[in-house]
Amino acid sequence: MAKARAVRRTLTVLVALVLAGVGVYIASAVLNRSDAPVVEGCTAIANGNKQSLATDQAANASLITALAVRRGLPARAATIAIATSMQEAKLRNINYGDHAGPDSRGLFQQRPSQGWGTEDQLMDPVYATNAFYDALVKIPGYETLTVTEAAQKVQRSAYPEAYSQHEDLGRAYASALTGNSHASLDCALRKPDSAGDPIAFRAALTQSYGATPASVAAGQTVTVRADSALAWSVAQWAVANAKGLAVARVDVDGQAWVREGNKGWTDAQTQPGVVVITLAPAP
């Protein structure tokens, strides 16, 4: 009996040592692995202030701004539109209203009952954004108004002062996405789940900018020729849409944004007047 107890004690000690060793190994692997969990999101910087958005919000901000660029509107128009959408719908294309506007829909919570369009139209972000700009440009001197004043004249909200709290955010993303601020928009992302589709990328680019930035696809690379401001607009639009369109790298004007490692913008060798967007290969 004594010998059996001794054997059991020895086995117990050995099992404990093995389990401890496995625990140390697992802990070490977790602490030292290169693919540590990434909290996805995007940031834009203006005047030293960093503004954060979720990836879907940043993509919507990029569409709102690209449509302003497409229409030849100033960055101020995009600032007002982004701040308005953030207040009205958190920069999301929502399909429901609230107590004050039960039929409100879309990026700007516009109402069919107030003549903004049909529900289906207002759920189209391109239509809704253009409807907002159509109303904004009719306001004399909107560029010199405060965000609150301009947004209220378009939206006629029950809480007009609320728009001002999003002015810094609107300015940061509008400045980056119009190409006025270079290398100022960054997104931290996990590895893509699937390969990027050059056809889908070019379709999204055309939907946002129209035919102006001519693009050419070759393999997993899309090349866009544009002058400096438009080039940076397209480049940072690509970063803002990197999650949805599986963008792996963006090269423009001596800089490169590289998704892997989430290092932000770094110096790179690039061609003048060309944006090169590299889409992810099949995982």
Of 19-23, 89-93, 232-236, 275-279, which gets the smallest average pLDDT? 19-23
Beta bridge partners of 209: none
Q: Distance between alpha carbon 133 and the CA centroid of its chain, in Å?
A: 21
Residue 18 above 80 pLDDT?
Answer: no
- Running DSSP on this structure, what letter comes out for residue 254? T
Is residue 266 within 8 Å of residue 255, measured between CB atoms? yes
Query: DSSP strand E in the chain: where?
Result: 41-46, 49-53, 185-188, 215-218, 221-225, 247-252, 255-258, 265-267, 274-279
Residue 21: alpha-carbon gap to chain centroid: 43
Condensed to tens digits (0 to 9), the pLDDT of residues 216-226 reads: 999 999 999 99
Lowest mean pLDDT of 32-41, 42-51, 77-86, 180-189, name the range: 32-41
Query: Could you report the per-residue pLDDT of 102-143, keeping only the tens digit for each?
Result: 889 999 999 999 999 999 999 999 999 999 999 999 999 999
Please determine, for residue 25, whether its predicted confidence score (pLDDT) is greater than 90: no
Question: In this structure, what DSSP letter does residue 242 have?
Answer: H
Asked if residue 82 lies in contact with residue 61, where contact means CB atoms within 8 angstroms, the answer is yes
Global pTM?
0.86
Using a pLDDT cut of 70, give the percent of the chain over it.
86
pLDDT-derived band at 17 (thresholds 50, 70, 90) equals very low
* Confidence tier at 158 by pLDDT (50, 70, 90): low
Helix (H, G, I), strand (E, B) or coil at 216: strand
Mean pLDDT across the stretch 241-248?
Answer: 98
Q: What token pair was written down for 237?
A: 């639009």
- pLDDT for the residue numbered 212: 74
The pLDDT tens digits for 165-176 are 999 999 999 999
How distant, in Å, are the alpha carbons of 57, 100, 170, 223 from that of 91? 5, 19, 11, 29
User: Confidence band (pLDDT; 50, 70, 90) for 283?
Assistant: confident
